[in-house]
Amino acid sequence: MIQDVERLIQAIADDLRRLLKERDIVNPAVIGVHTGGVWIAERLRDLLDIGEPLGRLDISFYRDDFSRLGMNPQVRPSDLPFDVDGRHIILVDDVLYTGRTVRAALNEIFDYGRPDSVILAVLVDRGERELPIEAQVVGARLTLEPDENVKLTGPEPLHLVVRKRP
């Protein structure tokens, strides 16, 4: 089942607006996790009318499986063009699965400074968590077969693709 991604992102933006109002957050900073999270974060930034540039995170150096898998040959620089100290962060990723990527992203953000809070918004939550991590805003929940994968392709157009693992 392939979802209309643009519509999901609209829904996420609506939920975020509500959540930010509830928590009285006026000037959030948005950080996207490479690569899919950055595409979504760019759209959210537009929809939420945030003028400040996006933060981009490549968590390759923070992965907990570096000892097993080694270096990612396509690592990109992380770039947070704002001071993390005292900010409310909206952390955006495409797929929430085991929770390890989010843990790595949180570790990396905290190495830049101490945020006041972090809200996690994901396009898809496919369950099967291995760590106690949850998203505050979720576009869609999916249940997948054990041999299936979900991937966001892009940047234009954005598509969610469910594939059998090779």
Partner 1 sequence: MNPASVQLDEQGRLLHFLTLEGLTRRHLVEILDTAESLSGVAERRVKKLPTLRGKTVVNLFFEPSTRTRTTFELAAKRLSADVLNLNISTSSTVKGETLLDTLRNIEAMQCDMFVVRHAQSGAAEFIARHVEPHIAVLNAGDGCHSHPTQGMLDMFTIRRHKPDFAHLRVAIVGDILHSRVARSQIHALNILGASEVRVVAPRTLLPAFVEDLGVRVCYDLRQGLRDVDVIIMLRLQRERMQGALLPSAQEYYEQYGLNEERLALAHPEAIVMHPGPINRGVEIDSAVADGPRSVILEQVTNGIAIRMAIMSITIGAHAHDGRRRR
Smaller CB separation from partner 1, 79 or 148:
79
Interacting span for partner 1 (CB under 8 A) from 76-84, 117-125, 145-153, 158-166: 76-84
Describe the strand order of the beta sheet including 29-33 as a list of residue ranges.
55-57, 29-33, 88-96, 117-125, 137-141
Rounded CA Rg of the chain: 15
Stretch that binds partner 1, among 38-46, 49-57, 110-118, 128-136 (CB under 8 A): 110-118
Of the ranges 61-69, 93-101, 120-128, 155-163, which one interacts with partner 1 (CB under 8 A)? 61-69
* 53 near partner 1, rule: CB under 8 A: no
* Binding residues among 116-145 for partner 1 as defined by CB under 8 A: none
Task: Give the three-state DSSP class for 28.
Answer: coil
Q: Compute the distance between CA of residue 39 and CA of residue 75 in angstroms, rounded to an integer.
A: 17
Other Cβ atoms closer than 10 A to 50: 16
Alpha helices, DSSP H only, in the chain? 5-22, 36-47, 66-69, 100-112
Q: Which of 70, 132, 146, 166 binds partner 1 (CB under 8 A)?
A: 70
- Our CB check for partner 1 shows the closer of 63 and 88 to be 63
Stretch that binds partner 1, among 14-22, 42-50, 56-64, 115-123 (CB under 8 A): 56-64
Q: Distances in Å between the alpha carbon of 127 and those of 12, 63, 81, 136, 138? A: 18, 20, 32, 14, 11
71 interacts with partner 1 by CB under 8 A: yes
- The site for partner 1 (CB under 8 A) is made up of 58, 60-62, 66-71, 73-79, 84-85, 107, 110-113
